[in-house]
Amino acid sequence: MTASPRTLLWPLLVLAAFGLLASATITFAATKRIQAATASKPKAAEPAERPPLVVPDVRGKPYVFAKGILDDAGFAWRVSTKNGYATNTVSSQTPAPGTRVVDTGAPLMTLALHAPSGQKESGSPENDSPFESTPLKLVSGEKAKSASVQAPKTHETKKHTKKANAKAKT
């Protein structure tokens, strides 16, 4: 039994009509999407005023930790003593801790380091932050200060202090 051409024509016409309807729907949706995107342009965002940064206190801390603290606070750094080894300790910083500065991107802080006694410096020193710094601008009314760390009290210093306090009481 063979099918007549007329019975084969109906399924073919239904399939063609379905294809035409689907392509017309997709074309219509694509046209509407493009028109919607061009009709309303988003407004450019105005730069928000950034709050001032507060300089963290990294004096007395190992250089390797001071770098992380400054990175987290949004500062770039430079070592002024040319010995930026990880085990060195920060002896002074400019500006002083607590100083408020304008957030210019990565304001530059200057650190002075000292090596622990008896410690051999090895490896390559890292004297500058890995990213470019921006100028340091103080918030109006602030004065630039540098701050040094006081020498830590040793065991001998504590003994002498206790003896002096005992003599003062008698």
Domains of the chain: 49-116+125-136 (3.30.10.20)
Residue 156: pLDDT band with limits 50, 70, 90 = very low
Cα–Cα distance, 93 to 76 (Å, whole number): 12
Residue 132: pLDDT band with limits 50, 70, 90 = very high
* Percentage, residues of the chain above pLDDT 90: 32
What backbone phi and psi angles, to 5 degrees, belong to 94? -130, 125
Supply the mean pLDDT for the chain: 79
C-alpha distances (whole Å) from 57 to each of 50, 70, 91 are 21, 9, 11
pLDDT tens digit string along 76-103?
999 998 788 888 999 999 999 999 999 9
What pLDDT score does 120 carry? Answer: 79
pLDDT of 148 strictly over 50: yes
DSSP calls for 121-138 = P-S----B-SS--B---B
Residue 30: pLDDT band with limits 50, 70, 90 = confident
Q: Which of 25-39, 57-71, 109-123 has the lowest mean pLDDT?
A: 25-39
DSSP calls for 60-128 = TSBHHHHHHHHHHHT-EEEESSS---TT-EEEEEESPTT-EE---SSBEEEEEEEPPTTPPP-S----B
Cα–Cα distance, 53 to 104 (Å, whole number): 9
What pLDDT score does 27 carry? Answer: 82
* Mean local confidence (pLDDT), 97-122: 89
Q: Which of 24-28, 34-38, 53-57, 105-109 has the lowest mean pLDDT?
A: 34-38
Residue 153: pLDDT band with limits 50, 70, 90 = very low
Measured over all CA atoms, what is the biggest interatomic distance in the chain, rounded to whole angstroms? 130
C-alpha distances (whole Å) from 43 to each of 39, 40, 46 are 12, 9, 9
